[in-house]
Amino acid sequence: MKRHLLSAADLTRDDAELVLTTAAELRSLADRPIKKLPALRGRTVVNLFFEDSTRTRISFEAAAKRLSADVINFAAKGSSLSKGESLKDTALTLEAMGADAVVIRHSASGAPHRLAHSGWVRSSVVNAGDGTHEHPTQALLDAFTLWRHLGESKPSGLEGRRVAIVGDVLHSRVARSNALLLQTLGVDVTLVGPPTLLPVGVESWGVDTSYDLDAVLPKVDAVMMLRVQRERMQGGFFPTPREYSRRYGLDGRRMATLQDHTIVMHPGPMVRGMEITADVADSDRSVIVEQVTNGVAVRMAVLYLLLGGSENPE
């Protein structure tokens, strides 16, 4: 593993499989009476959140604490874009506090990259979602959930499986990281959405693309529905929310066209009635709640693999 986790592209196939198998071991520990492990005793993990995301922060916090790390939550209020240097100033503060890892969520694409490569801090940097760029630990937990659900003994069993990622790919960091990671794991990915919400040049990502959800659904082993953010609804990317739902929403009728084993995923938070109907979200196929549980194990695995050993072995 590299020293930082900034992009799903930082992970080789071996790295990704190691994270997943490590997460599998750690997840089984969740059933023990004492959930804490001593691996990161004396290490400090800072959750640096420039953007509100209680669920992601809590997930990282639980992961770090279960590994016995000291956790500092640092919520930087307001937009950093209004005061240019605040990311740097904050970074220097964290460096002075002796952070071993900084878990950063930021509205600007590339902010974790800047943090890792500007010489401001020496700690490992974990991207917990940056702008419309990436969210690699979400992709890892999605891959983990897929692996567990598709009943393979090893992560390599995901080879050749088919996953559709549906919706606002253009603005989705989850879609980017998943497209990269799932391909690394040998999964066939199809991005589905209206042409206005698929990025320019997506043809060269190595994935399939489709504008036709109905044609894709019967072929896949998993459907990952992306959230449609409210501001996009006014952005002219599609005529009306109603038309969007009709063409790209997952409802009971469409769910009926899935193969029996196919699962439905969503990174949350859902806009019920928009990209997914309540009956689908609450159905047996939905693994949305489990994705949250798996998030802790996967983030433990990432923190352990980044911080558990030494950077400079003798």
Residue carrying structure tokens 């990502």: 205
Instruction: Kindly state the number of chain residues that form the binding site for another protein, as judged by CB under 8 A.
Output: 57
Closest CA relative to residue 177, chosen from 5, 306, 4: 5
Q: What residues between 67 and 96 interact with another protein by CB under 8 A?
A: 67, 80-81, 84-85, 87-88
Nearer to another protein, 36 or 246 (CB): 36
Nearer to another protein, 39 or 251 (CB): 39
Please, which residues have CB within 8 angstroms of residue 217's CB and are 6 or more apart in sequence?
164, 223, 254, 257, 258
Residue 6 contacts residue 136 (beta carbons within 8 Å): yes
Q: What residues between 13 and 52 interact with another protein by CB under 8 A?
A: 18, 21-22, 25-26, 28-29, 32-34, 36-39
Residue 143 contacts residue 301 (beta carbons within 8 Å): no
Closest CA relative to residue 39, chosen from 29, 52, 54: 29
Please, which residues have CB within 8 angstroms of residue 297's CB and are 6 or more apart in sequence?
23, 24, 26, 27, 30, 63, 141, 144
User: Is residue 232 involved in binding another protein (CB under 8 A)?
Assistant: no
Closest CA relative to residue 244, chosen from 192, 288, 207, 282: 192
Q: Is 149 annotated as ligand-binding?
A: no
Nearer to another protein, 30 or 58 (CB): 30
Residues 153-182: x where in contact with another protein by CB under 8 A, - otherwise, as a string:
-----------------x--x--x------
Closest CA relative to residue 90, chosen from 45, 134, 46, 136: 46
Supply the minimum distance, in Å, between the C-beta of residue 84 and another protein. Answer: 4
Q: Is 83 annotated as ligand-binding?
A: yes
Nearer to another protein, 23 or 217 (CB): 23
**Helices 136-149 and 173-184, packing angle to 10 deg:** 50
Q: Which member of 12, 54, 118, 229 binds another protein (CB under 8 A)?
A: 118
Q: Is 227 annotated as ligand-binding?
A: yes
Nearer to another protein, 60 or 281 (CB): 60
Supply the minimum distance, in Å, between the C-beta of residue 312 and another protein. Answer: 9
CA distances from 248 to 76, 217, 224 (A): 35, 11, 12
User: Is residue 133 involved in binding another protein (CB under 8 A)?
Assistant: yes
Closest CA relative to residue 26, chosen from 144, 149, 181, 155: 144
Q: Is 42 annotated as ligand-binding?
A: no
User: Is residue 100 involved in binding another protein (CB under 8 A)?
Assistant: no
Supply the minimum distance, in Å, between the C-beta of residue 260 and another protein. Answer: 30
User: Is residue 3 involved in binding another protein (CB under 8 A)?
Assistant: no
Beta-carbon count within 10 A of 37 CB: 16
Q: Is 268 annotated as ligand-binding?
A: yes
Binding annotation for L-aspartate: 83, 173, 227
Residues that bind another protein (CB under 8 A): 1, 18, 21-22, 25-26, 28-29, 32-34, 36-39, 67, 80-81, 84-85, 87-88, 106-111, 113-114, 117-118, 130-134, 170, 173, 176, 199-205, 304-311, 313-314
Binding annotation for carbamoyl phosphate: 55-56, 105, 135, 138, 268-269
